Amino acid sequence: MAKGRLTLLGFILFILGFSAICLMVVGVQLSFLTWMDYFGKLPGFLMRLLMIIAGIMLVVLDNTDFKK
């Protein structure tokens, strides 16, 4: 994948995970992420948290220069 695409994917994962957690606090859900709560509230929260962490990791790793 191109360098910009992985960064974009990381930002999308971060924004979706962060907004899903914020909306979960007020009792609203994003319709395409409701399947995460079928396993329970805690696993659903952990999957959203994992989305945030994976997004940050993608952005950092994609913008790291490993040749230096």
66: pLDDT strictly greater than 90: no
Three-state DSSP at 35 gives helix
- pTM comes to 0.86
Burial 26-52 (b: 16+ CB within 10 A, else e): eeeeeeebeebeeeeeeebeebbeebb
Q: And the tokens for 10?
A: 């990381």
Which of these, 68, 66, 55, 50, lies nearest to 7 by C-alpha position? 55
Q: Quick: pLDDT tens for 8-65.
A: 999 999 999 999 999 989 988 888 888 988 999 899 999 999 999 999 999 999 988 8
2: pLDDT strictly greater than 80: no
3 compared with 41, residue with greater pLDDT: 41
Three-state DSSP at 27 gives coil
